[in-house]
Amino acid sequence: GQQLNQSPQSMFIQEGEDVSMNCTSSSIFNTWLWYKQEPGEGPVLLIALYKAGELTSNGRLTAQFGITRKDSFLNISASIPSDVGIYFCAGQSLSNDYKLSFGAGTTVTVRA
Amino acid sequence: EAQVTQNPRYLITVTGKKLTVTCSQNMNHEYMSWYRQDPGLGLRQIYYSMNVEVTDKGDVPEGYKVSRKEKRNFPLILESPSPNQTSLYFCASSSVSGKKLFFGSGTQLSVL
Protein backbone atom coordinates (compact mmCIF):
# COMPACT_ATOMS: atom_id res chain seq x y z
CA GLY A 1 0.00 0.00 0.00
CA GLN A 2 0.92 3.66 -0.15
CA GLN A 3 3.31 4.97 2.47
CA LEU A 4 1.81 7.73 4.62
CA ASN A 5 4.01 9.60 7.08
CA GLN A 6 2.04 11.17 9.91
CA SER A 7 3.55 13.55 12.43
CA PRO A 8 3.96 14.10 15.22
CA GLN A 9 3.69 10.57 16.56
CA SER A 10 2.34 11.93 19.85
CA MET A 11 1.60 15.24 21.49
CA PHE A 12 0.53 16.64 24.80
CA ILE A 13 -2.13 19.31 24.86
CA GLN A 14 -3.07 21.87 27.43
CA GLU A 15 -6.68 22.98 27.52
CA GLY A 16 -7.16 26.01 25.31
CA GLU A 17 -4.15 25.34 23.06
CA ASP A 18 -4.26 25.10 19.28
CA VAL A 19 -2.62 21.95 17.94
CA SER A 20 -1.63 20.78 14.48
CA MET A 21 -0.68 17.53 12.85
CA ASN A 22 0.09 16.59 9.28
CA CYS A 23 0.38 13.72 6.89
CA THR A 24 2.52 13.32 3.77
CA SER A 25 2.46 10.79 0.99
CA SER A 26 5.03 9.62 -1.52
CA SER A 27 2.41 9.76 -4.27
CA ILE A 28 -0.56 11.85 -5.31
CA PHE A 29 -3.88 11.26 -3.57
CA ASN A 30 -7.35 12.18 -4.77
CA THR A 31 -8.97 11.95 -1.33
CA TRP A 32 -7.76 12.75 2.17
CA LEU A 33 -9.66 11.73 5.29
CA TRP A 34 -9.12 12.36 8.98
CA TYR A 35 -10.36 9.92 11.63
CA LYS A 36 -10.35 9.95 15.43
CA GLN A 37 -10.16 6.84 17.60
CA GLU A 38 -11.10 6.85 21.27
CA PRO A 39 -10.09 4.06 23.67
CA GLY A 40 -12.01 0.84 23.09
CA GLU A 41 -13.68 2.09 19.93
CA GLY A 42 -13.16 2.06 16.19
CA PRO A 43 -12.08 5.18 14.28
CA VAL A 44 -14.75 7.74 13.49
CA LEU A 45 -14.61 9.99 10.43
CA LEU A 46 -13.99 13.65 11.25
CA ILE A 47 -13.39 15.36 7.91
CA ALA A 48 -13.24 14.32 4.25
CA LEU A 49 -11.35 16.31 1.58
CA TYR A 50 -11.70 15.80 -2.17
CA LYS A 51 -9.95 18.68 -3.96
CA ALA A 52 -6.44 20.13 -3.83
CA GLY A 53 -6.45 23.30 -1.73
CA GLU A 54 -9.75 22.44 -0.08
CA LEU A 55 -10.15 23.73 3.47
CA THR A 56 -12.94 22.14 5.52
CA SER A 57 -14.04 22.66 9.12
CA ASN A 58 -15.97 20.53 11.57
CA GLY A 59 -16.50 22.55 14.72
CA ARG A 60 -13.08 23.32 16.20
CA LEU A 61 -11.38 21.04 13.69
CA THR A 62 -10.05 22.31 10.37
CA ALA A 63 -8.35 20.19 7.72
CA GLN A 64 -6.69 21.10 4.44
CA PHE A 65 -5.93 19.14 1.27
CA GLY A 66 -2.42 20.20 0.25
CA ILE A 67 -1.85 21.91 -3.09
CA THR A 68 0.69 19.28 -4.15
CA ARG A 69 -1.95 16.56 -3.42
CA LYS A 70 0.72 14.77 -1.40
CA ASP A 71 -0.11 16.16 2.02
CA SER A 72 -2.87 17.14 4.40
CA PHE A 73 -3.10 19.02 7.68
CA LEU A 74 -5.44 18.88 10.66
CA ASN A 75 -5.75 21.69 13.18
CA ILE A 76 -7.63 21.60 16.47
CA SER A 77 -8.36 24.99 17.96
CA ALA A 78 -8.92 25.72 21.65
CA SER A 79 -8.29 22.14 22.82
CA ILE A 80 -10.55 20.58 25.40
CA PRO A 81 -9.94 17.38 27.42
CA SER A 82 -12.24 15.28 25.21
CA ASP A 83 -9.93 15.92 22.25
CA VAL A 84 -7.65 13.14 23.55
CA GLY A 85 -7.41 10.09 21.34
CA ILE A 86 -5.57 8.84 18.30
CA TYR A 87 -5.97 10.83 15.09
CA PHE A 88 -5.41 9.03 11.80
CA CYS A 89 -4.99 10.45 8.35
CA ALA A 90 -6.05 8.29 5.43
CA GLY A 91 -5.90 8.70 1.71
CA GLN A 92 -6.84 7.16 -1.59
CA SER A 93 -4.43 7.33 -4.50
CA LEU A 94 -5.32 7.89 -8.12
CA SER A 95 -4.11 4.40 -9.00
CA ASN A 96 -6.48 2.48 -6.75
CA ASP A 97 -9.82 3.98 -5.90
CA TYR A 98 -10.78 1.15 -3.56
CA LYS A 99 -7.83 1.05 -1.22
CA LEU A 100 -7.59 3.45 1.70
CA SER A 101 -4.10 3.82 3.20
CA PHE A 102 -3.73 4.99 6.80
CA GLY A 103 -1.01 6.87 8.62
CA ALA A 104 0.41 5.46 11.86
CA GLY A 105 -1.61 7.93 13.94
CA THR A 106 -1.00 10.88 16.26
CA THR A 107 -1.73 10.17 19.92
CA VAL A 108 -3.07 13.25 21.70
CA THR A 109 -2.85 13.29 25.49
CA VAL A 110 -3.77 15.95 28.04
CA ARG A 111 -0.76 17.50 29.75
CA ALA A 112 -0.98 17.09 33.49
CA GLU B 1 -29.16 2.65 14.58
CA ALA B 2 -26.60 2.42 11.78
CA GLN B 3 -23.73 0.26 12.87
CA VAL B 4 -21.02 -2.26 12.10
CA THR B 5 -21.08 -5.15 14.57
CA GLN B 6 -18.07 -7.36 15.21
CA ASN B 7 -17.94 -10.45 17.37
CA PRO B 8 -16.31 -11.36 19.59
CA ARG B 9 -14.78 -8.23 21.21
CA TYR B 10 -12.02 -10.26 22.83
CA LEU B 11 -10.60 -13.63 21.84
CA ILE B 12 -7.73 -15.67 23.23
CA THR B 13 -6.77 -18.77 21.29
CA VAL B 14 -3.85 -21.11 20.69
CA THR B 15 -1.65 -21.54 17.66
CA GLY B 16 -3.28 -23.53 14.88
CA LYS B 17 -6.86 -23.49 16.13
CA LYS B 18 -9.12 -22.17 13.38
CA LEU B 19 -11.24 -19.17 14.25
CA THR B 20 -13.74 -16.82 12.64
CA VAL B 21 -14.42 -13.20 13.52
CA THR B 22 -17.85 -12.12 12.33
CA CYS B 23 -18.78 -8.72 10.91
CA SER B 24 -22.22 -7.46 10.04
CA GLN B 25 -23.48 -4.06 8.87
CA ASN B 26 -27.05 -2.79 8.69
CA MET B 27 -26.50 0.12 6.27
CA ASN B 28 -26.80 -1.82 3.00
CA HIS B 29 -23.21 -0.89 2.14
CA GLU B 30 -21.57 -2.45 -0.89
CA TYR B 31 -17.99 -2.00 0.33
CA MET B 32 -16.59 -3.84 3.38
CA SER B 33 -13.04 -4.22 4.61
CA TRP B 34 -10.90 -5.72 7.37
CA TYR B 35 -7.98 -3.94 9.03
CA ARG B 36 -5.50 -4.83 11.71
CA GLN B 37 -4.08 -2.23 14.07
CA ASP B 38 -0.64 -2.65 15.61
CA PRO B 39 1.28 -0.09 17.70
CA GLY B 40 3.27 2.29 15.53
CA LEU B 41 1.90 0.83 12.31
CA GLY B 42 -1.57 2.33 12.17
CA LEU B 43 -4.31 0.48 10.33
CA ARG B 44 -3.31 -1.98 7.64
CA GLN B 45 -5.84 -3.43 5.25
CA ILE B 46 -6.17 -7.21 5.18
CA TYR B 47 -8.94 -7.85 2.63
CA TYR B 48 -11.77 -5.87 1.13
CA SER B 49 -14.95 -6.58 -0.77
CA MET B 50 -16.71 -4.34 -3.26
CA ASN B 51 -19.88 -6.42 -3.33
CA VAL B 52 -21.28 -9.91 -2.84
CA GLU B 53 -18.85 -12.58 -4.10
CA VAL B 54 -16.24 -9.90 -4.96
CA THR B 55 -13.20 -9.83 -2.68
CA ASP B 56 -9.60 -8.71 -3.07
CA LYS B 57 -6.37 -8.67 -1.09
CA GLY B 58 -5.26 -5.66 0.87
CA ASP B 59 -1.74 -4.97 2.07
CA VAL B 60 -1.36 -7.84 4.58
CA PRO B 61 -3.56 -10.77 3.44
CA GLU B 62 -1.24 -13.66 4.34
CA GLY B 63 -2.78 -16.07 6.84
CA TYR B 64 -6.31 -14.72 6.42
CA LYS B 65 -9.38 -15.64 4.39
CA VAL B 66 -12.67 -13.85 3.83
CA SER B 67 -15.98 -14.53 2.19
CA ARG B 68 -18.87 -12.33 1.09
CA LYS B 69 -21.91 -14.52 0.52
CA GLU B 70 -24.38 -11.90 1.70
CA LYS B 71 -24.20 -8.13 1.43
CA ARG B 72 -24.41 -7.51 5.18
CA ASN B 73 -21.81 -10.05 6.38
CA PHE B 74 -18.06 -10.21 5.87
CA PRO B 75 -16.40 -12.77 8.17
CA LEU B 76 -12.63 -12.95 8.69
CA ILE B 77 -11.22 -16.46 8.92
CA LEU B 78 -7.88 -17.49 10.37
CA GLU B 79 -7.37 -21.11 9.30
CA SER B 80 -4.23 -21.67 11.40
CA PRO B 81 -3.57 -18.67 13.65
CA SER B 82 -0.02 -17.83 14.67
CA PRO B 83 1.28 -15.52 17.41
CA ASN B 84 2.17 -12.81 14.87
CA GLN B 85 -1.55 -12.46 14.19
CA THR B 86 -2.09 -11.16 17.70
CA SER B 87 -3.58 -7.75 17.02
CA LEU B 88 -6.62 -5.48 17.20
CA TYR B 89 -8.90 -6.12 14.23
CA PHE B 90 -11.46 -3.76 12.75
CA CYS B 91 -14.20 -4.36 10.24
CA ALA B 92 -15.47 -1.38 8.27
CA SER B 93 -18.07 -0.63 5.62
CA SER B 94 -18.87 2.15 3.20
CA SER B 95 -21.37 2.97 0.53
CA VAL B 96 -18.89 4.81 -1.70
CA SER B 97 -15.75 3.03 -2.82
CA GLY B 98 -14.26 2.65 0.63
CA LYS B 99 -13.95 6.35 1.37
CA LYS B 100 -16.24 7.30 4.26
CA LEU B 101 -15.70 4.17 6.29
CA PHE B 102 -17.84 3.20 9.28
CA PHE B 103 -15.84 1.06 11.70
CA GLY B 104 -16.88 -1.61 14.15
CA SER B 105 -15.69 -1.48 17.78
CA GLY B 106 -12.85 -3.90 17.19
CA THR B 107 -11.82 -7.44 18.13
CA GLN B 108 -8.74 -7.89 20.30
CA LEU B 109 -7.18 -11.22 19.33
CA SER B 110 -4.40 -12.93 21.25
CA VAL B 111 -2.80 -16.06 19.79
CA LEU B 112 -0.72 -17.99 22.31
Is residue A110 pLDDT above 90, yes or no? Answer: no
**Local structure of B98: helix, strand or coil:** coil
Q: Which of A87, A100, A101 to mutate to probe the B interface, most B CBs <10 Å?
A: A100
Q: What is the pLDDT of residue B102?
A: 93
Nearest to A99 by CA among B91, B80, B44: B44
* Low-confidence residues in chain B, pLDDT < 70: 96-98
Looking at every residue in chain A, the average pLDDT score rounds to: 92
The closest of B80, B84, B107, B89 to B19, measured between CA atoms, is B80
Please indicate if any CB of chain B lies within 8 Å of the CB of A22. Answer: no
Considering chain A, what percentage of its residues have pLDDT values greater than 90? 79
Q: What is the average per-residue pLDDT within A63-80?
A: 96
Give the residue numbers in B contacting A (CB under 8 Å), as ranges.
4, 31, 33, 35, 40-45, 48, 50, 56, 58-59, 90, 92, 97-106
A42 vs B41, B59, B104: nearest CB: B104
Provide φ and ψ at A81, rounded to 5°: -55, -35
- Between CA B54 and CA A106 the distance in angstroms is 33
pLDDT at A1: 56
Report the pLDDT value the prediction gives residue B97, as an integer from 0 to 100.
64
The pLDDT of residue B99 is 74
The shortest C-alpha distance from A40 to chain B (Å) reads: 7
Each residue's pLDDT tens digit, A15-40: 999 999 999 998 899 999 999 999 88
Q: What does B35-75 look like in DSSP terms, one character per residue?
A: EEEETTTEEEEEEEEEETTEEEE-S--TT-EE--SSSSB--
